[in-house]
């Protein structure tokens, strides 16, 4: 085929941008270093979530108190992660703690106990109500956690 004016010939490549990955670590190929770097973005995301749950906000001068604060933050992260991955679906599975807190956990509702059963009463017309109820049903179907 003949090319028209301004077109590239078949098989020709036009270089738009060139990138290099350099590493001074012996035995580590540059592509492997690039893949390890990209995996780090997941870690950065988890650190951001821990900060949203209050990690790092040491408010007491006592080492034991700070230890308790970090332990409570880790527990909150595990609870939030279980709710997010086991109870929710779609884009909510990747929702950050602030989004979950603002849309689901602060939803006006009333927890009632009747005949040894717990009921969650949500205001009619609540846009996120059905999502929360589905999540609670999924979590209830899992049963209690196994002892450590």
Chunked in runs of 10, what are the mean pLDDT values of the chain (148 residues)? 64 70 75 76 77 74 79 84 86 86 80 86 83 84 74
Nearest-angstrom CA–CA distance, 94 and 90: 8
CA distance 78 to 87: 13
Tokens of 78: 């595990």
**pLDDT given for residue 126 in this prediction:** 82
Structure tokens at 14: 């036009």
This prediction's pTM: 0.54
CB 84 within 8 A of CB 135: no
Structure tokens at 81: 């992660």
């Amino acid at each position: 085929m003949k090319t028209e004016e301004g077109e590239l010939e078949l098989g020709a490549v036009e270089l738009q941008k060139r990138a290099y990955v350099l590493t001074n670590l012996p035995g580590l190929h540059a592509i492997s270093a690039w893949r390890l770097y990209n995996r780090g973005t997941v870690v950065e995301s988890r650190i951001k979530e821990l900060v949203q749950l209050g990690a790092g906000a040491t408010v007491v001068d006592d080492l034991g108190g700070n230890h308790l604060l970090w332990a409570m933050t880790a527990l909150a992260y595990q609870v939030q992660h279980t709710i997010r991955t086991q109870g929710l679906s779609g884009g909510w599975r990747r929702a950050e703690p602030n989004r979950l807190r603002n849309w689901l956990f602060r939803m006006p509702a009333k927890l009632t106990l009747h005949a040894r059963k717990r009921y969650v009463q949500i205001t009619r017309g609540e846009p996120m109500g059905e999502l929360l109820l589905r999540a609670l049903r999924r979590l209830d179907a899992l049963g209690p956690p196994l002892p450590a």
